[in-house]
Structure 1
Amino acid sequence: MRFGLLGTGPWAELAHGPALQAHPEAELVGVWGRRPEAAADIAGRFGARPYADVDALLADCDAVAVALPPDVQAPLAVRAARAGRHLLLDKPVATTAAAAREVAGAVAESKVASVVFFTLRFRPETVRWIEEQRAAGGWQLGRADWLSSIHDSGGSDSPFAVSPWRREKGGLWDVGPHALSVLLPLLGDVADLEGSVAAVAGPGDLVQLALRHTSGAVGTCALGHTAAPAAAGTAVELRGAAGTAVMPEGKTDAVAAFGSAVDALLDSVRTGRAHPCDIRFGLRVTEILAAAQDRLGAGR
């Protein structure tokens, strides 16, 4: 499958480019970015051609892998889908429910395949753990915390610390999708957006979410990029009839996980079966985050 890479930031350099270059059933044909010099650099590193015109790249590929801020990703994903190109998108799909619905509508109308790269859902050890806990069932409480210090006042050497959209939208939108990508398959969808989502703002960009799921379970998420370094960390814990289950720390790196996402897209194209992390799941995650953002704005 011929892939076009849209985006030239850290994720394109650290995950998308290496994974597409190494995948035996993918060919990285071109790179487009908002900075032509960066597109030329990324293309040169991974044996592809830089494109100044995104439509020219769409004409030369079968699918696009997107490594762009969500507000830039969404309209380009619509454009690519309407051109008949399969989509390998990044999370979140967009930062408004309306924009995410437009992407989902374009995918449905064009009948292209779609996969959203929720990193944990493409790590084999996480997939196995989720399947085991779903089989166990009976969960009453779920907790998924994603706390980093990349925007702590002490500074950070993370390549994502200088990302303007992450600074603007905060951890709710950047790491919130990771938390939801684990809780939703285990506890069920959020029962309803109006009555089942609560959010409280803390210092910096820290947010605490509380969710009521269709299973009857309650999920909570602590999210943010301004945690004190000593408080940073990731944890997922379930409590219920089977006792307590804690998600193991993953060892699969981002390149291998993205390679699995490429596999998932190829399988969806060949079989016509939707992947669990397709655009519809990406839309639902966006809707829940948008509802949480509304609660924060309303002080609820």
Structure 2
Amino acid sequence: MRIGLLGTGPWARAAYAPALAGHGSLDFVGVWGRRPEAAAELAAEHDVRAYDDVDALLGDVDAVAVALPPVIQAELAVRAAAAGRHLLLDKPLAIGVAEGRAVAEAAERARVASVVFFTTRFQPEPEAWIGEHAATPGWFTARAQWLGSLFAGAGPLTDSPWRREKGALWDVGPHALSVLLPVLGDVRRVAAAVHGPADTVHLVLEHAGGASSTVTLSLTAPSAAAGADVELRGEAGVTLLPRSADGAVPALTRAADALLTAVRTGRAHPCDAAFALRVTEILAEAETVLGKDVG
């Protein structure tokens, strides 16, 4: 399957381009970016074509991978789907519900496959744990903490404008929800949402299966306190989400495998655009409740 990359930033360089270039069943065709000089540089690193025109790239591929800020991703994903191109997207799908719905509807209308890269869902140990515990009844409650130290120091994503604006809720919130939803069921209601230090937020969620969960999210935690943990408690006892040694590139390789499988079989992947839209809707509801907390 011929695939092109939209985006030339740190995430595209560190994860997407290496994963696409190293995949045995993908033909990595080329790169488009908002800065032509960056596209040329990244394309040269992987011996592919740099495109000045995004429509020209869409005309040469079967699928696109998008490593761009969510506002730009949503617009280009709709454009790619309308051109009949399959979609390998990043989280969050979009910052607004209307934009996320436009992507999901465009993919459905064009009958193209979509996979959204929620990292944990494509790491083998967490993926197996989620599958096992989703089939286990009787969960009573869950606790999820996704604490990053992105804003506590310097790094390639530290100055990301959309992360600065939207904070942990929208950056790491999708990761927590991607684990909780398949196990506890859809979120029926964001029962509470309050601010903590800096961009930290605390959520209380009511799930359709009857369980409740608490979620703590931050990009400003001290580096010594950073990490991700999910704990389930129920009739089966207490269990913790296992950690994975796999980084972003192996996980993205599996996400690309999932896209290929969805294209071949015609069956939607659990982390498709429709699922990512639901995550977007929950985050938007939480943001509304947080606004009331400020008031």
TM-score (structure 2 length as normaliser):
0.97
When residues 41 and 149 of structure 1 are mapped into structure 2, their CA distance, relative to the original with a 3 A threshold, is same
Between 1:90-99 and 1:246-255, the stretch displaced more is: 246-255
Structure 1 residue 233 and structure 2 residue 227: aligned? yes
1:105-144 aligned at under 5 Å gives the runs 105-144=105-144
One-letter amino acid of the counterpart of residue 221, structure 1: V
Q: Distance in 1 between matches of 2:95 and 2:190?
A: 20
One-letter amino acid of the counterpart of residue 201, structure 2: V
- Verify the 8 A CA contact 1:88 1:117 in the aligned structure 2: yes
Name the structure 1 match of 2:248. 254
Superposed CA offset, 1:69-118 (max 9, x none): 00010000000000000000000000000100011111111111100000
- Verify the 8 A CA contact 1:94 1:286 in the aligned structure 2: yes
Q: Distance in 2 between matches of 1:149 and 1:127?
A: 25
Name the structure 1 match of 2:79. 79
Q: Distance in 1 between matches of 2:44 and 2:143?
A: 43
TM-score (structure 1 length as normaliser):
0.96
One-letter amino acid of the counterpart of residue 225, structure 1: L
- Verify the 8 A CA contact 2:190 2:285 in the aligned structure 1: no
- Verify the 8 A CA contact 1:197 1:288 in the aligned structure 2: no
**Among 270, 281, 285, which residue is 2:279 paired with?**
285
Q: Distance in 2 between matches of 1:69 and 1:131?
A: 30
**Among 158, 170, 173, which residue is 1:173 paired with?**
170
Q: Distance in 1 between matches of 2:162 and 2:120?
A: 21
RMSD: 1.1
Structure 1 residue 183 and structure 2 residue 177: aligned? no
Name the structure 2 match of 1:30. 30
Residue ranges of structure 2 left out of the alignment (5+ in a row) = none
One-letter amino acid of the counterpart of residue 174, structure 1: D
- Verify the 8 A CA contact 1:196 1:213 in the aligned structure 2: no
Aligned residues: 294
Identity within the alignment, %: 61
Runs of 4+ in 1 over 3 A off after TM superposition: none
Q: Distance in 1 between matches of 2:194 and 2:67?
A: 30
Superposed CA offset, 1:215-242 (max 9, x none): 1000111001111223222111101111
